[in-house]
Amino acid sequence: MNIIDGKKVSARVKSEVREEAAVLGQKGISVGLAVVIVGDNPASRVYVNNKKKACAEVGFESYEYALPAETTQDELLALVKKLNDDKKVNGILVQLPLPKHIDENAIINAISPDKDVDAFHPTNVGHIMIGDFSFLPCTPAGVMELIAETGIDVCGKNCVVIGRSNIVGKPMAMLLLHKNGTVTMTHSRTKDLASVTSQADILVAAVGKAGFVTADMIKPGAVVIDVGMNRNAEGKLCGDVDFDGCCEKAGYITPVPGGVGPMTIAMLMRNTLTAAKIQNGCKD
């Protein structure tokens, strides 16, 4: 069993981004990310702070817009329009979830696809589907980096994704398919889930249930990627995979924390850099 170190891989990605941002800086181009947070969700505040810290690490400008929970949808749409028009801002990220009275889809659709560094806009989702994308959703892109770190080629492998969310499950399946994996998507209605997952050479768990994947569900030697971020009964951070039970059986496995989590923010930095290059006509 080999533990895939997301902290190490994310540090490498951020180092590459920092070097490229410095090259842009020599041409007089600065890279800017605007992060919008509405309300005072504690988890969202942690994520936003981590994004600001990552921007500082790679040499980006960071613009935070912290709005009160009672902000109206029209006020938020007006801010998004202002950021779309702001040349200093290369990427726009509206931290989800939003308060109940705001339609998340309306906000996502209002972000310019060229600045949509989360890759949630339907235009970017369509590009991912057909394989001519500029941006990839940060978590699935981070998962692909972690799989690459193992040295195992996705081509021809049985790949199983547990979960079908628009943010992780669906794009994850597409990225594995683009690498010529044979992909099965599973979800809450899948019959005899363990018989499907135990055939997987590469298993990605993104279901949001602590310890959901147990050792009997994985194939010996499989690559097991845990996207989950949950709290167990003791309040300890844990993933969707029963790490202690699965680690001896898996060939490669990601820990929680320290696996997929750091990669998500590293890939956000890469997307923001890509956006800056495209907007300034420097895309290679």
pLDDT at 116: 98
Helix axes 122-130, 169-178, angle to 10 degrees: 30
**131, part of any domain:** no
- Residue 207 in any domain: the answer is yes
Task: Kindly state the average pLDDT of the residues 149-171.
Answer: 97
If residue 138 lies in a helix (H) or strand (E), which one and from where to where?
A: helix 138-149
Answer yes or no: is 121 within a domain: no
Number of neighbours of residue 65 by Cβ within 10 angstroms: 19
Q: Is the pLDDT at 155 greater than 70, yes or no?
A: yes
- Residue 243 included in any domain: yes
Asked whether residue 185 falls in the same domain as residue 81, the answer is no
Confidence of residue 284 (pLDDT cuts 50, 70, 90): low
Do 248 and 157 fall into the same domain?
yes
Predicted local distance difference test score (pLDDT) of residue 207: 95
The pLDDT of 98-120, averaged and rounded, is 97
Within 10 angstroms of residue 23's Cβ, the number of other Cβ atoms is: 11
CA terminus-to-terminus distance, the chain: 38
CA distance 6 to 151: 15
Mean pLDDT of 123-131: 96
Is residue 225 in a domain? yes
238 belongs to a structural domain: yes
Q: What percent of the chain has pLDDT over 70?
A: 99
pLDDT band for 150, please (50, 70, 90 cuts). Answer: very high
Name the residues annotated as catalytic.
Answer: 51, 95, 118
**pLDDT tens digits along 207-222:** 999 999 999 999 999 9
Does 160 lie in the same domain as 251?
Answer: yes
Domain residues for the domain of 80 are 28-112
CATH number for the domain harbouring residue 101: 3.40.50.10860
In a domain? residue 19: no
Same domain, 41 and 148: no
- What pLDDT digit, counting tens, does each position of 40-94 carry? 888 899 999 999 999 999 999 999 999 999 999 999 999 999 999 999 999 999 9
The domain tally of the chain equals 2
Judge contact between 168 and 139, C-beta under 8 A. Answer: yes
Task: Please tell me whether residues 88 and 190 are part of one structural domain.
Answer: no
Do both 144 and 257 map to the same domain? yes
| CA–CA distance, 261 with 247 (Å, rounded to integer) | 18
Which CATH number fits the domain that encloses residue 223?
3.40.50.720
Looking at residue 271, its pLDDT comes to 98
Confidence tier at 280 by pLDDT (50, 70, 90): very high
Find residue 92's DSSP bridge partners. Answer: 34, 116
Same domain, 76 and 146: no
**174, 65: one domain:** no
Average confidence score pLDDT of the chain = 96
78 found inside a domain: yes
Mean local confidence (pLDDT), 10-17: 98
Q: What is the pLDDT of residue 26?
A: 95
Distance CA 118, CA 138 (A): 6
Position 139 pLDDT exceeds 90 = yes
Work out the percent of the chain whose per-residue pLDDT is above 90: 94
- Phi and psi at 77, nearest 5°, equal -60, -40
